[in-house]
Structure 1
Amino acid sequence: MSDWLFDLGNTRLKLAPFDGDGPGAVVAHAHVHEGLDPAWTSTLPPRIEIAWLASVGPPALRAALLQALVPRAARVVEVRVERRMADVVIGYAEPTRLGVDRALALVGARGRTPGWALVVGVGTALTVDLLDAGGRHHGGSIAPSPTLMRAALHARAPQLPPAGGVDGIFGTDTADALAAGCTGAALGLIERSRAAAARLAGTTPAVLMHGGGAAALLDGVDAAVHAPSLVLEGLARLARQPAAAG
């Protein structure tokens, strides 16, 4: 039997086998009609030794996932945020108030770079977290992602299209202007955070981007590294700790 890693978010479920070193081939399943994709179990073996789970998804989806995993896995380990996670020290006054996906992305980033890192998650929300060279989390920020900005504007003003348009600096129609504005707002937060981090660190931090919307912002962030499986990488690093399955 093998161990598997599961990252349950608001829009997708990502899973990968865990070979003891890191995540293997990652498979992502978008949620269907507010439920899990019926095909999500197609890549799983009949039996699992340990199912490592990180969930920020809706309670109903978490319950459905656990209902499927408990009979299949010898053990299910659902990760919770603690002050120290592997070699990362969480900077929140109350660590449990930090989303487990953000915490695990920090652990994953620590495995990629020994220096300062700005960890950017682009999903339903846009999150930015700063990690120093000693593994200490300096906190972060949360904003709507470009997709959520568009959805929120459309909800308040239905004449504004919720998607479409060509991203640029100055749009020449409404859809283009919306794309430019929402993308620009996200990029502005990232660049503002990087500049502040550079002043604090005395050096420019690495920028690691993950999440379903990260690819759309990559070209706008100089020298950013696309790390789409960063949460699973962090989950794997945590699973390697001697006491992790205890």
Structure 2
Amino acid sequence: MTAWLFDLGNTRLKCAPLGPDGRPGEVLALAHRDADVAAALARALPARIEVAYLASVANEPLRVAVLQALAARCTRISIARTQAAFGGVRIAYAQPNRLGVDRFLALLAVHARGADAALVCGVGTALTLDLLDADGRHHGGRVAPSPMLMREALHARAPQLPETGGQYHAFAADTVDALASGCDGAALALIADSREAARVQLGHAPRLLLHGGGAPVLLDRVPNATLVPSLVLEGLAIWAAVETAT
């Protein structure tokens, strides 16, 4: 069976074939817009796919555009949903559907990787932090703008402030560097505060896992963190295995 995994975020569409071992294969990351997502998928994918597994946190027009593009080449499309309990993970939210499916799938993947507690940090359009204990219990999380979104918001309100560029410094001597330092620094401070709060809540320090397109930029400034680039696709593969079995 030819099956592919699709992680549709607000900035990128990540996709990978589902391997015979039940894990994602080589990951493709496609920048997207509503108008060109079909063309991007046509260039990246085989002509026919039997099953597509989709996790989406994107806006409705973009989600529909991706579904239409997939429907043209897929026999079946299965859309992942956040569930209160799944794969040994128990979600803290009283209304599980209000937890983004990307966060849910990342937690599934982390729990499947081992029994240690973890603080899971996603760096995409949003910066998300979720605490998972060794028993698979989700203790809740935090959501904030990512450094990329901070820069875009500043540029939108004040076009003279560039939305990219600059280097991190404790105290920058140039506006572009100051923007990079301030926006990255805000994210780093939230991660550090969440890490300490997690240590207090659990009574020990959890491992820190970073994923998402913006994670590599922060990695060198976060002590003892591990980069896990395809965590959402890993979780989607776990979800797909259960969905197929049922």
TM-score, reference length from structure 2? 0.94
Q: CA deviation at 1:59?
A: 1.4
Measure the CA separation in 1 of the matches of 2:180 and 2:200. 30
Q: CA deviation at 1:163?
A: 2.0
Percent identity between matched residues is: 57
Equivalent pair of 2:5/2:52 in contact (CA under 8 Å):
yes
| Aligned residue number for residue 86 of structure 1 | 87
Number of matched pairs? 245
Q: CA deviation at 1:122?
A: 0.6
Measure the CA separation in 1 of the matches of 2:138 and 2:88. 11
SS of 2:108's equivalent in the other structure is helix
| Structure 2 residue identity aligned to 1:103 | F
Is 2:175 aligned against 1:156?
no
| Aligned residue number for residue 232 of structure 2 | 231
| Aligned residue number for residue 133 of structure 1 | 134
Q: Between 176-185 and 68-77, report the one with greater CA deviation.
A: 68-77
**Unaligned regions of 5+ residues in structure 1, if any?**
none
Equivalent pair of 2:3/2:51 in contact (CA under 8 Å):
yes
Measure the CA separation in 2 of the matches of 1:109 and 1:34. 34
Query: Counterparts of 1:12-31 in structure 2 under 5 Å?
Result: 12-19=12-19, 20-31=21-32
| Structure 1 residue identity aligned to 2:11 | T
| Aligned residue number for residue 145 of structure 2 | 144
Measure the CA separation in 2 of the matches of 1:13 and 1:64. 12
Measure the CA separation in 1 of the matches of 2:45 and 2:153. 37
Query: Counterparts of 1:57-206 in structure 2 under 5 Å?
Result: 57-206=58-207
Measure the CA separation in 2 of the matches of 1:150 and 1:72. 37
Equivalent pair of 1:5/1:232 in contact (CA under 8 Å):
yes
Q: Between 199-208 and 223-232, report the one with greater CA deviation.
A: 199-208
Q: What is the root-mean-square deviation of aligned Cα atoms in Å?
A: 1.7
Measure the CA separation in 2 of the matches of 1:36 and 1:4. 16
| Structure 2 residue identity aligned to 1:81 | T
**Unaligned regions of 5+ residues in structure 2, if any?**
none
